[in-house]
Structures are given as C-alpha cells and as structure tokens.
Chains A and B, each alone.
Chain A
C-alpha cells in the first residue's frame, strides 16, 4: 500500500503534464479504486500534487519544485489559495471567486491574502471595469489589458490630457502633410494622394516624438485618428495593399488626411439667441424677454 503512492509519485514525475485516473489504473491494475484515491490524497496532503480538471476528468500533476519550496512554512489552506490565484493567470481573480473555489470562510481568505501579500507572493490590482473591485494575481505577473484599461488608463484614471495631446499631435502631422502637398503645386491627383498618411506613418511619427511613456500600438493610434474624424478635422479611406507592405493589415491600409470645414460657423450662432441657455424660457412680456435680455445688451455693447 505504501508503494501505491510512491508509484503514483513516480508516474507523475514521468508525465510532468499530469496524469489521469485512467493512467494510474493502467499502470497499477491491481490497485483498488479506494486505494488509488488514498494514494492521491496522500500526495495531495504532502503538497506534491496539483489537482486539475480538464474536459475529460480530473488530472493529477506534479508540483513545480520551486513553488513547493516557496510554500515551506505556509499551511495547506494558503497553498490552496495560492494555487487558485496562480491559475487565474494575468487576468487575476476576485476574492469572492477565491471563496467559491476553495470553500473557505471569508475571514480565513482575507487573513491568507494579507499573509501572501506581505510575503510578496501575490499583489492586488484595481480593475478598470469596476473601480471597487480588486483582483489578485501573482506578484511578478503583468496584468492583462482588460484589467488595466490599456494604454489610456494609468492607475484607474483615464488619461484625458494624454489623449488630448496625442490628438493634437496627430492632427498637426496630418495638417502639415496636407499643406506641403498643396504648396507642391503639382497636379491635383498627386496633391491629394501626397496629402494622405497611412496609420503606420502616423504611428511611427508619434513613437519618434517620444511623448508617450507607454508603448502605443498602431491600433491605439487608429483610435486617436478616429476621434479626429469625429472632430470633423480628418477623413479616412481604405486602400488595398499587397500582403507584406509595411503597415498593412489583412491586405488593407488605412489612409488619413486633414480636411477643411465645409462651412463657416452658421449665422444663427453669431447671435446671442443661438447660444442662449434660457432660450426656451424667453418670450415677450415674460421675465426673460428680448427687450430686457442681458445677453443682447452685452452683445450690443461689444
């Protein structure tokens, strides 16, 4: 019987990716299911096995020696919690989910988490999706984008100023390219084509400017360029590009260029009424009326 769990251990060492119950059965057909279970439990309690579940059933895997040595001095519950957190990878796991998975009471969990944090084995990261939510992950892992919000968030806060600066810089780049094209006095088709810039070109320009502390991807730059489109300052076309052309994605390239507004600010906004915050409440004979309107008075006095 004692040989049973030793043999299991050896099997696990033989198959570092893990073994199923079936494997143990094949190897030791004489072992009763009860005895198999006892062997596994022994190994688990010794802290030498990981218990995993895959699509076909349970999987028993040898624990990594380094992590087991780290765990010296921690008790089993801590090991369990640590395991759960490790499995969550770089997306992290919420304390409530840890409770579900480990079936430990909340107070115990909190104590363990504090302990692990102080030992610098895990860390808490604030999720951008729900600001009160904290997810736990291993100390040395880089949190996933869905948790941190990506390039536009630093510590939970949306970096409006940073986005604004990028917005202006991209626009300046496109504007000067359009001006250069106009001044070149070439044929109109050439002028228009040379006023375009690919998203790759803009990305390169921004990277070289060095105004960003974080690495920005071409997708990030494209989201900024899209805001310029919604500002009415830039237009975009898509052209087919040969696979392998620099900056092409799926055989396409996006081209952007600065454009001029199609009308001057319209007539009605040059009057006080066009911008008036109490327009709805104004009528002749009322408390707010054209005759006593203070905005009109100011406007008439220049």
Chain B
C-alpha cells in the first residue's frame, strides 16, 4: 500500500461516494483494521455518518469486517484494501466488455450491479427491464425473461457470482483466528448456480416528469413489495473473470500485431477452449491437441489441416513464445504460455515508455541491456553503435530515472574505482513495479485536473442569457469546451492509463504466483 495508491483510492472514493466516505475509507487504508469507536475518534466524523460510510463501503465489497482480534467478544473491526478500490477505475471497461459480449442488456446488468455493489437477481432484472423499456419506442417494453436469460448467461460464464453470505458476528462467540482469510465467493459450491426465480412481467416505463433522483428512490421502495424466491441471494460482479478476459484480449491482439490475423484467431480459439479448464493463476493453458483445435476453429476460417499445423509451428517458433508445444500425441499438443506472454507484454510496455520519453537511441540502449543483462559502458557504446559521449549521457539519464541500475563488481576487496567493474543492467520486475506506481500517480493527477477544471467551469457555468448574448461566440465556445470536452479528454486518458495499469498489474501478480 503505497502513498500513491492511497491518494488514488481517496480520489476514486470521493468521486463515487462523496467526501465523507472518502475520508473514512482513506483513514482505514492508512490505519489498518480498526473498530467503530476508534474510527470515530480518529476521524472526528459523527457516529451516524461513519456508520453510513461503512455501510456503503461494505455494500460495495471494499470493506470487510470481522470479530475483534484482541479478545473474544471485542468489537467488530473493519478493514479496507487498495486493490478493490482501485477496481473502480476499471468500471467503464467492465461495462463496455459486457456490452460487446451480451449487448445492451448485459451492459445495463453490469452497470447496475457496479453501482449498487450487490443485488438480488430479481431486483436486477426488474430494474434493467425498466431502464431498457425507457429507451424503447412508445408502446414497446422489455420482457423480464429476456433480461433473466442474459443474467443467467453472465452467471454461466462466471462474469457474475454470488456474494459471500454474511455471517453476522454474534457477541459472545469466540472470535475466529485472524489468520484465516475471509472466505472467497468461490469457496461456496453454489457460487455460480442461478436460483429458481419466478419473474413474469415486463419493464415499466416511468412517467416523463420524474428525473433521475426519483428513479433511485423508486428503486429502493420497489425492492420490498414482491418476493420471487431468491431472497437473500445477492450477486456481485466477478472482477477476476473480467480480468482473465482482458488478459486473453491482450494476448490475442499482440499475436495479431506481431504475426497475422489468422494466427490470432487460432490463439483466440485455444484460449476460448481453455476458459473453464485453466485456473486463474496457471502459467499456461492445459494442452490442447491440434485435432481438437482444428475442430473448434470458427467455421468462417476455412484453413486446411496441414496449414493449421504450419501456423501452429510458426507460433511455437516465434521468439515471443506465445504458444508452446507440450507433446506429440493427437497431431501435436499445444499450450498458450500465459505468464510468458504477460512478461513479454510488460517488457514491450517498458520499452515503449523509454522510447516515447527519451527517444529511440535510449530505447536501443534499454533493449540492449534487457537482452544482454550486464554490460560495461564501453560494450554498450560498441553494441549500440552510439558515440561515447552521447551514450554516456543517455545511460546517466536512464540511471537517474532508475530505469537502469549499476552493478559493481570489485576486483579487489577495497572497491577501488579503478579496479572495479561497473556493469549496467535492467531488472524488469522492479522497473515494472516502479512504472506501475507512476501510472497510479498519473491517474490521480488526471482526476485532480478534471476536478479542478469542473470547479473552474462551475464558476463560469452560472451565466444568464444576457451574458451569452453579450459575450463573444468564441468565449462561449471555450466555456463549453471546458465543461464538456476537457473532462471527456481527461476521462478517456484515465482509461488509457488504466490499460497500462492492467498489463503491469497482471505481470506483477503473475510473478508472485509462478
């Protein structure tokens, strides 16, 4: 939990839940697990507001509670972690992915669940049906069954999962030892089982004079009136599943860039076949035979069998090693090397940063050091074919930015400079971690600028019609720009940086498990 992560989490909480929740959340991040009384005491916020904030945080899965550690029966303690809060940054990507896979219905289901934290299936279906109906032509409405089937599909493909049933901490019972981690949703066997619900009806179009605020209130009251057989079963978005999907997408597009469209389709097929058989932390997919791959290729790709074998061989021979050969049976057993692909993508990301920031010759030196591991200054000059003075300058710049490290190898025990080898080197993992922190800082900077711009424009927003007529066309245009376009620009930039964050996070996490 670094300072940059805490800062970014604070901003994300503030944007989505308001200042008070942000204050409570940030406080918990910095202080670790605390009970209610301590939180109130240290933040100076009233009991009522702290309670509400904790409710919001728990509802969205960003805060967990457990019995106090000190003694059995001691007050419940609350704990937050950065990881879950940072996911807020990725919400637009989750929603967009659901849209591409399951259409508008899928998009709205995911959006509702992200907004609410968790909901029962029946309330989700009803709310989404109402929203879809709102956007349809006059007289048409969305049937509940359509939404239910989309919901079921999302559950089948594991994009949605049941939230862990809450076990209330009963005072007086011995506290569970702190070492046991809170149960994961997957540890419950019913995690992906769609309950039997009786949901018959269609979405209701709300009256046109209500605005957004009333709609939300209407949602709250509607929940209690009818029962459908799934009370107490709450569903949440399964972020890990989305992440696996993003990872697969990244690998497929890398193959398409490096090789060609057909190769990427073959890899897409292999990944699709491995979706349910591969664990999230696996180094590579389970071996698939060339025969199986051939049968599972999309029908639009009419590749003859020997050509498929050639493509597979080329994928295996490629220096990036996206695909590996695991055996000879069934026409050849092939795996997708997931961790290696992530490492390669992370390396390409680092190289891209060095290239854009410092130029192509510095990038040449960086790649050279990545390949050759350790080199002396003279060797760097010779291999990269860059004159001594400029090479020295570039190496020192990279060194000062901590992208390149210096390793001393003494010839004598006294480390005398004239008798020591000084070798330049690049360590991929620590450099990736450093860049990841920089990305968090960058996103926080973009958010702060966006807040600043909207604050500025709020001051400009209240103008009367008289002002508009008087002021020039140009200044009105600029004002519109600052209200509308700049926030959009900053927003889309945040999403772009999140792409980099995703790749680097996946890479760093993969090294922890491999």
Contact check, B439 vs A263: say whether CB atoms are below 8 A apart. no
- CB–CB B351/A290 < 8 A: no
A232 to B, closest residue via Cβ: B367
Among B319, B360, B449, find the residue whose CB has the most chain A CB atoms closer than 10 A: B449
The yes or no answer to B296 lying at the interface (CB within 8 A) is no
Q: Which of B345, B365, B368 contacts A263 (CB under 8 A)?
A: B345
Question: Are B367 and A291 touching (Cβ within 8 A)?
Answer: no
**Stretch of A19-27, A102-110, A274-282 on the interface side:** A274-282
Q: Which A-chain residue is minimally distant from B303 (CB atoms)?
A: A188
Asked if A176 is an interface residue, CB under 8 A from chain B, the answer is no
Among candidates A160, A231, A264, A296, residue contacting B364 with C-beta atoms closer than 8 Å: A231
User: Is there a chain A Cβ closer than 8 Å to B344's Cβ?
Assistant: yes
Which of the residues B257, B357, B448 comes within 8 Å of A284, measured between beta carbons? B448
A271 to B257, CA, bound (A): 23
Sort chain B's interface into a size bin: 35 or more
Taking CB atoms, residues of chain A closer than 8 Å to B319 are 235
Cβ B384 vs Cβ A230 within 8 A: yes
CB distance from A35 to the nearest CB of B (A): 52
| B345 A262 Cβ-Cβ under 8 A | yes
Residues of A within 8 A of B107 (CB): none
Closest to B351 in A: A232
Q: In the complex, which residue of chain A has the Cβ closest to the Cβ of B381? A: A158
- Number of CB contacts from chain A to chain B under 8 A: 135
Pick out which of these stretches binds chain A: B136-144, B154-162, B202-210, B496-504: B496-504
Contact A260 B493 (CB under 8 A): no
* A300/B364 contact (C-beta < 8 A), A265-B356, A271-B493 known: no
Contact A291 B314 (CB under 8 A): no
Q: Which residues of B contact A238 (CB under 8 A)?
A: none
Contact of B442 among A260, A274, A289 (CB under 8 A): A274
Given A188-B311, A268-B353, A290-B452 in contact, is the A263-B442 Cβ separation under 8 Å? no
Is B383 an interface residue, CB under 8 A from the partner?
A: yes
**How far, in whole Å, are A290 and B455 apart by their CA atoms in the complex?**
14
In the bound complex, what is the Cα–Cα distance between A163 and B391 (angstroms)?
15
Say yes or no for A152: interface residue by CB 8 A criterion.
Answer: yes
Check A262/B320 contact, CB under 8 A, given A230-B368, A230-B384, A269-B352. Answer: yes
* CA–CA, A289 and B449, complex, Å: 9
Query: Cβ of A275 and Cβ of B258 under 8 Å apart?
Result: no
Of residues 167 through 205 on chain B, the ones whose CB sits less than 8 Å from some CB of chain A are: none
Q: B254 and A262: CB pair below 8 A?
A: yes
Query: Are A290 and B348 CB-contacts (below 8 A) given A226-B383, A300-B486?
Result: no
A261-B348, A274-B357 given as contacts; is B439 within 8 A of A268 (CB)? yes
CB neighbors of A among B375-403 (8 A):
383-388
The residue on B at minimum CB distance from A261 is: B257
How many residues on the A side are at the interface (Cβ–Cβ under 8 A)? 44
Contact A268 B500 (CB under 8 A): yes
Residue pair A266, B500 in contact (C-beta under 8 Å): yes
Which residues of B in the span 291-323 have a Cβ within 8 Å of any Cβ on A? 307, 310-311, 313-314, 319-320
Chain B residue numbers with a CB within 8 Å of A187 are 307, 310
Residues of A187-220 contacting chain B, CB below 8 A? 187-189, 192
* In the bound complex, CA of A293 to CA of B493 (Å): 16
- Residues of B near A271 (CB, < 8 A) are 442, 446, 493, 496-497
Instruction: State which of B262, B320, B355, B445 has its C-beta within 8 Å of the C-beta of A290.
Output: B445
Given A262-B320, A291-B448, A296-B449, residue A267 in contact with residue B357 (CB < 8 A): no
- CA–CA, A296 to B445, complex, Å? 10
B70 located at the interface, meaning its Cβ lies under 8 Å from any Cβ of chain A in the complex: no
Q: Is A273 an interface residue (CB 8 A)?
A: yes
Contact A293 B449 (CB under 8 A): yes
> Which B residues lie within 8 Å of A70 (CB)?
none
A270 sits at the interface (CB 8 A): yes
Residue in contact with B438 in the complex, picked from A192, A226, A279, A291, CB distance below 8 Å: A279
Chain B, Cβ-Cβ closest to A164: B385
Contacts of B498 in A (CB 8 A): 267
| Per-position binary interface string of chain B over residues 10-50, scored 1 when its CB falls under 8 Å from any chain A CB and 0 otherwise | 00000000000000000000000000000000000000000
A188 near B307: Cβ-Cβ < 8 Å: yes
B456-504 interface with A by 8 A CB criterion: 486, 489-490, 493, 495-500, 503
Q: Quick check: B367 and A268 within 8 Å, CB to CB?
A: no
Q: Is the beta-carbon distance between A263 and B445 smaller than 8 angstroms?
A: no
Do A158 and B387 form a contact, CB below 8 Å, given A187-B307, A268-B353, A290-B445?
A: yes
**Contact among B258, B260, B365, B496 with A270 in the assembled complex (CB-CB below 8 Å):** B496
Say yes or no for B441: interface residue by CB 8 A criterion. Answer: yes
- In the complex the two chains form, is B258's CB within 8 Å of A231's CB? no
Determine if A154 is an interface residue (Cβ-Cβ < 8 Å): no
Of A188, A231, A267, A300, the contact of B360 (CB 8 Å cutoff): A231
Are A290 and B352 touching (Cβ within 8 A)?
no
Nearest A residue to B390, CB-CB? A160
Would A189 and B353 count as touching, CB distance under 8 A? no
CA–CA, A265 and B352, complex, Å: 6
Enumerate chain B residues within 8 angstroms of A226, measured Cβ to Cβ: 383
State whether A275 touches B441 (Cβ < 8 A).
Answer: no
What CA separation (Å) do A160 and B387 show in the bound complex?
7
Q: Choose among A223, A230, A282 the residue with the greatest number of B CB atoms under 10 Å from its CB.
A: A230
Min C-beta distance of A26 to chain B, whole Å: 50
- Contacting residue for A230 out of B263, B344, B371, CB 8 A: B371
Are A266 and B445 interface neighbours, CB within 8 A? no
The answer to whether the Cβ of A43 comes within 8 Å of any Cβ in the partner chain is no
* In the bound complex, CA of A227 to CA of B382 (Å): 10
Complex: chain A residue closest to B262, CB-CB? A188
How far does the alpha carbon of A21 sit from the alpha carbon of B255 in the complex, in Å?
77
Residues of A within 8 A of B495 (CB): 267
Is the CB–CB distance between B344 and A262 below 8 Å? yes
Specify which chain B residues have a CB less than 8 angstroms from the CB of A267 in the assembled complex. Answer: 495-500
Across-interface contacts of B453 in A (CB, < 8 A): 300
| Bound Cα distance A152, B388 (Å) | 13
Query: Nearest residue in B to A267 (C-beta to C-beta)?
Result: B496
Interface residues of A in 39-67 (CB under 8 A from B): none
Which of chain B's residues have a CB closer than 8 A to the CB of A293? Answer: 445, 449
Residues of chain B contacted by A263 (CB below 8 angstroms): 253-254, 257, 345, 348-349, 352
B345 contacts across to A, CB distance below 8 A: 262-263
Nearest CB in chain B to that of A271: its residue: B493
| Chain A residues with CB under 8 A of B438 | 268, 273-274, 279
Complex interface: chain B residues within 8 A of A189 (CB): 310, 313-314
When distances are taken between beta carbons in the complex, the residues of chain B under 8 Å from A261 are 257-258, 348
Please state if B442 and A273 are interface contacts (CB–CB under 8 Å). Answer: yes
18 additional contacts, CB 8 Å, given A267-B498, A271-B442, A293-B445? A187-B310, A188-B262, A227-B385, A230-B364, A230-B365, A230-B384, A231-B360, A231-B363, A262-B348, A263-B253, A264-B257, A265-B356, A267-B500, A274-B353, A274-B357, A274-B497, A279-B438, A291-B449
Binding site for A on B (CB under 8 A): 253-254, 257-258, 260, 262-263, 307, 310-311, 313-314, 319-320, 344-345, 348-349, 351-353, 355-357, 360, 363-365, 367-368, 371, 383-388, 435, 438-439, 441-442, 444-446, 448-449, 452-453, 486, 489-490, 493, 495-500, 503
A-B pairs with the 7 shortest C-beta distances? Answer: A267-B496, A273-B442, A269-B356, A290-B445, A291-B452, A158-B387, A290-B448
What are 17 A-B pairs at a CB distance below 8 A? Answer: A188-B314, A189-B314, A227-B384, A230-B364, A230-B368, A231-B360, A263-B253, A263-B349, A265-B352, A265-B356, A267-B497, A267-B498, A267-B500, A290-B446, A290-B448, A293-B449, A300-B489
